[in-house]
Amino acid sequence: MKFCTPALAALALCGAAAVASAADQSDFDMAYEAAVAAQQQAASVSGEWRDTGKFLKEAKKLAEAGDFEAAVKLARKAEQQGHRGYEQMTSQAGKVGLEPFLQ
C-alpha cells in the first residue's frame, strides 16, 4: 500500500512553502488590529491581562525595526491574551465567594 503519492507530496511541499512565507507590514497590521480589538474587549469587562499592553508595545517596536515575523507572533500572543481575559471574566460573572471544594 502506497501512502505518499506524487500529488500528495507536491501538496505537502506547497503547504510548507506557504507556511514558511515571510510576514510583511500588512500581516503585522492585521495581527495588530485584531490584538487591539481583543484587548479592548477584555478591558470592557475588566479582564485585560497584565502583559497584553506590553506585548503590543513590543510588537510595534519590532515592526518598526522591520522584524515582522516576531512582531506578528507577539501581536497574536497579545490577541490570545485578550480573548482569554474576556472569556475568563465572562465565565466568572456572578460568582462570588470560594468554590465549594475550597470551603
Question: CA nearest 32: which of 58, 1, 6?
Answer: 58
Predicted pLDDT of residue 26: 95
Summarised one tens digit per residue, pLDDT across range 30-73 is 999 999 999 999 999 999 999 999 999 999 999 999 999 999 99
Q: What is the pTM of this model?
A: 0.71
Higher pLDDT, 31 or 22: 31
End-to-end CA distance of the chain: 60
For 3-27, b/e burial (b = at least 16 CB within 10 A) is eeeeeeeeeeeeeeeeeeeebeeeb
Summarised one tens digit per residue, pLDDT across range 4-18 is 555 545 545 554 444
Predicted pLDDT of residue 30: 97
